[in-house]
Amino acid sequence: MKLVFEKSMPGHASVILPPLDVEKKALPENLSRGRLPRLPELSETEVSRHYTELVHEVYGVNSGFYPLGSCTMKYNPRIDEEIAALPSFTGIHPLAPQEATEGCRKVLEEAADLLEEISGMDAMTFQPAAGAHGEFTGVLLIKQYHDARGDEKRRKIIVPDSAHGTNPATAAMCGYEVVNIASAPDGCVDLDALKAALGEDTAGLMLTNPNTVGLFDPNILEITRLVHEAGGLCYYDGANLNAIMGHVRPGDMGFDCVHMNLHKTFATPHGGGGPGAGAVGCKAFLAPYLPKSALMDGGEGIQVRGFAGNFLVVLKALTYILTLGKEGIPQASETAVLNANYLMKGVKEVFTPAFDRICMHEFVLDLSDYKKATGVSALDVAKRLIDYGIHPPTMYFPLIVHEALMLEPTETESRETLDQVAEIFRKVKEDGIREPELLHTAPHNATIGRPDEVAAARNPILKAEL
Amino acid sequence: MGHYLPSTEKERAEMLKAIGLNSVRELYRDVPDCVYREQPLNLPEGKSEMEISACLKQLGEMNKQYRLILCGAGAYDHYIPSIVKYIPAKEEFLTAYTPYQAEISQGILQSIFEYQTMICELTGMDVSNASVYDGATAAAEGCTMCRSKKRSVTLVSAAAHPDVIATIRTYCYGVNAEMKLVPAKDGATDLNALKEMLTQDVASVYFAQPNFFGLFEDAEGIIAAAHDAGAMVVMGCNPIALGLMKTPGELGADVAVGEGQPLGMPLSYGGPYLGFMATTKKNMRSLPGRIVGETKDAAGNRAFVLSLQAREQHIRREKASSNICSNEALCALTAGLYLTVMGPNGLQETAQQCLSKAHYLAEELEKTGGVKLPYTGEFFHEFVTVQPQRDEILKKLEEAGILGGLPLGEDRILWCVTEKASKKELDEVVRLVKEVLA
Amino acid sequence: MEHLDYQFSRSHEWLKEEDGLMIVGISDFAQNALGDVVFVNLPDVGDEVTAGEAFGDVESVKAVSDLISPVTGVVAEVNEELLDSPELLNSDPYGSWIIKVENVTDTEELLSAAAYEAFCETEE
């Protein structure tokens, strides 16, 4: 596909601005740039066609089945977009006087109330712009708490080895030493390993529950009790909240603070990699440490982003929560769990689950036996799924399972779709047995074949030659 | 109650049976009884789409929409071309995940590659990432990437945006690194004070161009002082001003960052916005976040991929310099689209109109005799005035449906004028101010 | 095994003395396990390295591995050719040194070429 720069024709343009109607002020030469930026020059028709060409090369949730484990690719309702596009929200300046922004503040207050109830927390901030940003904020709450008490010996954060990479990276950004603890054979926290890691240097534990293999840790109350007993705090990574909304709350499990990915659990779209929102909730004793905006709120305190966060994303999530309500929220979760188990039952006849038991909203397949027998890897299988028109599952995560494929169907898929997907997995498996090369070189029906990532990394080309 | 389930209660009951269970509680059998909720949460009852639509529109109507906005301070009211609103709303762009599966994500990857190229053109730098959360986090991440074992102190100009300063301070607090404020003098960074603060342990200096008060800093002076002391420079830039002003690349800054909201994103009460970040080839591998690179597939077709991934948290874990994964991809697409629609001349014209109209208003206000400009430096589209009747003026404008500038301490107002204001409207503002002064 | 004058660490670095400097690289086994090396993060000349601790890392497309120093000392030279051509670690691991160390005060317990070969078989 041609780059937009390659379609540029000198002089092609849209007429957007009226002529300048005041005296032209010249910027002094010592402040001026040497030449104009070489931006593309296109008429509006050409712009429209360029982006239409691009959009044809994108697979969205609207395109088909998107079982990307850990990412909760549920349907993103259009009404949420319509509300978030209202000029009565998009046109509001964050620094307008209080009386002029009552609607926006009410949106944030109401969303906070509802999410506090769902998570079992007492206070909430919407400043973090994504899940990892929420983790950063949450662990900074823990850090401030220990600092305020003068408890300086607490230098370590405990993270299970099944955790998302963001957890250890976050702990490091907060100045903590990371203690990785091995998971038990059932994929859950190894209580002995946890006990051995805990001590008076423990600042806290970061945990996802259900965990990254899709299992709810039955020892959760004991885990949080042990951490508290050692003087640490418990951080809940809400990446997998979609499994449990309305059925059990992080606050009741003993967690002190949480982040929720509004762009996963609360149906706001991922946008090809953001904007998201990583709302952070906490118990009352941590509330004084929540971030503020120096300009909007004044005062001291931490701040992780400008202004009040990704407001429109919060607005979409609020629209979603109010639509589902008290019955719909738990129903969404239990259907997500039901769909995952139903799909696992279908796929289990084809590939081996890493943990063959009732799962939560996602499950992990272990393809190492299949790879041994056929030479076909999890990557090959994932790429072959593209030929059958579905998005590949998450690959090679969590790290504790070899040749892992992680499937999260979400609640917004029908039984027919799940049956078809199980059938597609069967076909792909047979393809691999019959003709391994077909899978090594998959996909065959996409616009490009497998890109040369080694060349991309060795000789990085990160912008167009102009 | 609303829902988005493509299944009936009967179907779900059959599916439950098919997996050998009798009740929903059995799905949650690992959840201890004492915390499992038999009772529903205290949430309102669900609603139909029609009810929801009405109820949220009502919330929106509680906000006040101004016919003219003269407040900036980090959020800028520019004209957004119609097509810039429609293209990012296409469902595939909107709903796709991060493009890890390159074969079915070329559209998003290419849009980011084009965005990266445009950011490099705007800033004069070599390498741009795929975006970070906003201007404040871009500044904080920029300072983080300059830190080394030997140099850990970050100097930040007190003339920078307060939210940016607080965010950098927070990121420094995280890793127990020191941040010091370089005092401002006459509304801009005090160069002499800076020189004294540039000790051996300083990793970087952050300043904004134009700064919080709208003034152009002595960028050459700041950068030379920093480099002489062996420190790096993180330069915050307004992307519209870059249509006219000398680029961080031309000035020799090490990292260019900024708030990309002016590039086609509405005010939206503060977000989603867009943090842009670019650096030199030398510092490419210290750049956090996702970066798209061009390569080829086996058949030799042009292909785009997420590149240099070994810098990132999902591979480097606790050794990654940032934990960022989700960024603001759709906002980056929007910015690339905005810059494409405006083109080089359109962007320059927008910057020219901002500059000219802001100067028109400043001069006309000064002519009233009751309003003074405390700073004499060159400014872009924001400027500070001092007047004892600060609150009366803002109130008068408010009553006329105009959002005046941001009130600052000591009777000051920080005004912002963009291309959206017409001469007629600016004359009206001046007339209203005169009425207050009279 | 052709590199009899090299000694090896259990973390798969090789060590060789030349002109009074200790030269460090990675073994053929290591480059094979890493796959296509796409970048090498090198220390600066003058940095101190410690036996058993990381002094840099090598990146492949989807992984990063620490380089562990077999000796304690001061970095005298780094092989800057690897910055532009990291693939040399794949094509010629024994010809592509990574750092040269001077003022060596301590050395890890190392294996002879033969012992290392036997060790690698247990690592498979």
Interface test with B, best of C47, C55, C59, C80 (most B CBs within 10 A): C59
- Separation of alpha carbons A130 and B289, rounded Å: 13
Interface test with B, best of A38, A307, A384, A447 (most B CBs within 10 A): A307
For residue C96, being part of any structural domain is answered with yes
- Residues of B with CB below 8 A from C60's CB? 310
For residue C1, being part of any structural domain is answered with no
A443: preceding bond cis by omega (within 30 degrees): yes
Q: In chain A, how many domains are there?
A: 1
User: Quick one: closest CA in B to A217, which residue?
Assistant: B30
| Tokens 């000790």 sit on residue | B199
Considering only the beta carbons, identify the residue of B26, B29, B406 that sits closest to A95: B406
What CATH number should be reported for the domain holding residue C107?
2.40.50.100
Could you tell me the residue range of the domain that residue A200 belongs to? Answer: 78-322
| Beta-carbon separation of A458 and C59 below 8 A | no
| Beta-carbon separation of C64 and B285 below 8 A | no
Read off the pTM.
0.97
Query: Mean of the per-residue pLDDT values for chain C?
Result: 91
Mean pLDDT (whole number) for B399-426: 97
The b-or-e profile of A192-224 (16+ CB within 10 A means b, else e) is ebbeebbeebbbbbbbbbbbbbbbbbebbeebb
- Residues of B with CB below 8 A from C39's CB? 285, 308, 310
Please state which of the ranges B179-183, B393-397, C61-65 shows the lowest mean pLDDT: C61-65
Among candidate residues A127, A270, A165, the one with its CA nearest the CA of residue B329: A270
User: What distance in Å separates residue B150's CA from the closest CA in chain C?
Assistant: 11
The per-residue pLDDT string of chain A (466 residues; one tens digit each, 9 = 90 and over) reads 899 999 999 999 999 999 999 999 999 999 999 999 999 999 999 999 999 999 999 999 999 999 999 999 999 999 999 999 999 999 999 999 999 999 999 999 999 999 999 999 999 999 999 999 999 999 999 999 999 999 999 999 999 998 999 999 999 999 999 999 999 988 899 999 999 999 999 999 999 999 999 999 999 999 999 999 999 999 999 999 999 999 999 999 999 999 999 999 999 999 999 999 999 999 999 999 999 999 999 878 999 999 999 999 999 999 999 999 999 999 999 999 999 999 999 999 999 999 999 999 999 999 999 999 999 999 999 999 999 999 999 999 888 899 999 999 999 999 999 999 999 999 999 999 999 999 999 999 999 999 999 999 999 999 999 9
What are the pLDDT digits (tens) for B95-111? Answer: 999 999 999 999 999 99
What CATH number should be reported for the domain holding residue A289?
3.40.640.10
- Residues of A with CB below 8 A from C39's CB? 457-458
Considering only the beta carbons, identify the residue of C60, C61, C64 that sits closest to B316: C64
User: What distance in Å separates residue C121's CA from the closest CA in chain B?
Assistant: 27
What are the pLDDT digits (tens) for B287-315? Answer: 999 999 999 999 999 999 999 988 888 88
- ipTM reported for the complex, 2 dp: 0.98
User: What distance in Å separates residue B315's CA from the closest CA in chain C?
Assistant: 6
| Beta-carbon separation of C62 and B315 below 8 A | yes
Could you tell me the residue range of the domain that residue C24 belongs to? Answer: 7-123
Q: In chain C, how many domains are there?
A: 1
Mean pLDDT (whole number) for B123-150: 97
- Separation of alpha carbons B224 and B195, rounded Å: 10
Considering only the beta carbons, identify the residue of A40, A129, A448 that sits closest to B271: A129
Chains touching chain C through at least 3 C-beta pairs below 8 angstroms are: A, B
Please state which of the ranges B10-19, B260-269, B307-316, B373-382 shows the lowest mean pLDDT: B307-316
Instruction: Give start and end residues of each alpha helix (H) in A13-100.
Output: 44-55, 78-84, 87-90
For residue A157, being part of any structural domain is answered with yes
Interface test with C, best of A379, A397, A450, A458 (most C CBs within 10 A): A458
Considering only the beta carbons, identify the residue of B2, B99, B293 that sits closest to A456: B293
Chains touching chain A through at least 3 C-beta pairs below 8 angstroms are: B, C
For residue A48, being part of any structural domain is answered with no
For residue A437, being part of any structural domain is answered with no
CA distances from C70 to A437, B292, C31, C59 (A): 42, 36, 17, 20
Question: What percentage of chain C reaches a pLDDT higher than 70?
Answer: 96
| Three-state secondary structure string covering chain B | CCCCCCCCHHHHHHHHHHCCCCCHHHHCCCCCCCCCCCCCCCCCECCCHHHHHHHHHHHHHCECCCCEECCCCCCCCCCCCHHHHHHHHCHHHHHCCCCCCHHHCHHHHHHHHHHHHHHHHHHCCCEECCCECCHHHHHHHHHHHHCCCCCCEEEEECCCCHHHHHHHHHHHHHCCCCEEEECEECCEECHHHHHHHCCCCEEEEEEEECCCCCECCCHHHHHHHHHHCCCEEEEEECCCHHHCECCHHHHCCCEEEEECCCCCCCCHHHCCCCEEEEECHHHHHHCCCCEEEEEEECCCCEEEEEECHHHCHHHHHHHCCCCCCCCCHHHHHHHHHHHHHHHHHHHHHHHHHHHHHHHHHHHHHHHCCCCECCCCCCECCEEEEECCCHHHHHHHHHHCCEECCEEECCCEEEEECCCCCCHHHHHHHHHHHHHHHC
Give residue B94's pLDDT. 98
Assess A156–B contact: CB distance below 8 Å, yes or no.
Answer: no
For residue C2, being part of any structural domain is answered with no
For residue A42, being part of any structural domain is answered with no
Give residue C3's pLDDT. 67
What are the pLDDT digits (tens) for B64-98? Answer: 999 999 999 999 999 999 999 999 999 999 999 99
- Residues of B with CB below 8 A from A171's CB? 318
Q: Domains along chain B?
A: 9-61 (no CATH), 68-78+348-437 (3.90.1150.10), 82-338 (3.40.640.10)
| Beta-carbon separation of B406 and A1 below 8 A | no
For residue C16, being part of any structural domain is answered with yes
